[in-house]
Structure 1
């Protein structure tokens, strides 16, 4: 059973117990309020931290790994900066995983094809990457995933199994949608925040300090600062004798349908 269902059942059980107690003794209303706030806090945390598997199973790392392997992932492309990212990856002979937005694929079809021809893995990152994605109905989420999958299949013949929700947000609607489309949700456990911080040193140090075997790093192929951080990161991982692999190899999962 998913974690949020367990929490809901637990909270309902506590409410019933408290309500029953009101027939025998005074139960202050603040106890009910506190219980509600705890539930609300857990729900919010579970929605925004994909690693918790709160609403749906997400593959965010290779737990308990002792092998110095790590996966590099890039979100929100293909973008004009993707070419620089691909050039760097080729220079270091590294394979990565790109979670692509449907609209961006339409805008940059040749770059998208280069990602594949260079031997990198691709995954679904929705069609629109709307800021309101977390409020979409399950059917609208299905439509976004399906539209991008069809677009990719038309351009490359590839049927993607991996899906990464925009912003890493999960909820019951997204959980229902991925269950219907039968996609595997891929998260991360090393978040660079390269779309939040402006200082390259801050971004690099944040990632470097979280490096450990079996990790999945989240970067974005959408800015020059991320490209600069990537070069430093590739040099650091090489110095630490890490093997950089695609997500399917790290997790031993099939990225594409046969």
Structure 2
């Protein structure tokens, strides 16, 4: 957790309460403001409020990382075909139960040289409310499936929805994972218009960026087609997330 914003906010609240002589509404305001800060810290992975996540690569070189969440799915083979055509390696954060559903596709991801990461077993909508014990179980069960199907191990983990909190932070430490975020969020699971997704992503591209996409729809596949043309035109190369980890180990 990054404590400095919390300490600053705590001091501000004390000064504010003292200045207004500790009235009831001042306490209410401070409570609501504190709650807002906590929620913001939970949902914005770039803040690193509860977990220090890797959200970009420090570089001046024109290179970015393509990352895909929530697969493998029925659409993943098309994504792999396209990446193979452009000779690009990406990072896939896979859900355990999806690996069980599409084991051959998961094996292909590995066989073609892409990097894989843990995205929990079930990608539960209740992720933000799970206990540390249950979060550890989610991560470890996904690890078992990754190892069983792909015969590999990964120390990369991406929190579902990018949500972090004290329980998730403890689970990440207990499972010895590296939390991976992003700094270019496509919102491709929310926005329906392919052109809007494309503009949102390309408008934020800069050296070292990590793009969050999902290999879960035809829509995102079409966006990827145009995005790869854009990257080629702008002379951007790509890197996989494990390359950042390897650099940090040197």
Same fold (TM over 0.5): yes
- TM-score, with structure 2 as normaliser: 0.93
The CA distance in 1 between the partners of 2:42 and 2:76, in whole Å, is 29
Q: Does 1:243 align with 2:237?
A: yes
Q: Does 1:234 align with 2:247?
A: no
Q: Counterparts of 1:41-190 in structure 2 under 5 Å?
A: 41-63=36-58, 65-190=59-184
Could you say what secondary structure the match of 2:68 adopts?
A: strand
Could you say what secondary structure the match of 2:246 adopts?
A: coil
Could you say what secondary structure the match of 1:142 adopts?
A: helix
Give 4+ residue runs of structure 1 displaced > 4 Å after superposition: 5-19
Could you report, residue by residue, the CA deviation over 1:223-254 in whole angstroms, capped at 9, with x for unpaired residues?
Answer: 001000001000000000000121122x2438
Count of aligned residue pairs for this structure pair: 248
Of the three residues 25, 37, 40, the one matched with 2:35 is: 40
Could you report, residue by residue, the CA deviation over 1:63-122 in whole angstroms, capped at 9, with x for unpaired residues?
Answer: 4x2110100000000000000000000000000000000000000000000000011000
The CA distance in 2 between the partners of 1:26 and 1:53, in whole Å, is 34
Asked whether the equivalents of residues 106 and 150 of structure 2 are also in contact (C-alpha less than 8 Å), the reply is: no
Match of 2:186 in 1: 192
Cα RMSD between the aligned structures?
2.0
Gaps spanning 5+ residues in structure 1: where?
none
What is the deviation of 1:159?
Answer: 1.1
What is the deviation of 1:10?
Answer: 5.3
Could you say what secondary structure the match of 1:66 adopts?
A: coil
C-alpha spacing 1:16/1:49, structure 2 compared with 1 (3 Å): closer
What is the deviation of 1:27?
Answer: 2.8
The CA distance in 1 between the partners of 2:247 and 2:75, in whole Å, is 28
The CA distance in 1 between the partners of 2:41 and 2:182, in whole Å, is 14
C-alpha spacing 1:34/1:89, structure 2 compared with 1 (3 Å): same
Of the three residues 194, 199, 215, the one matched with 2:209 is: 215
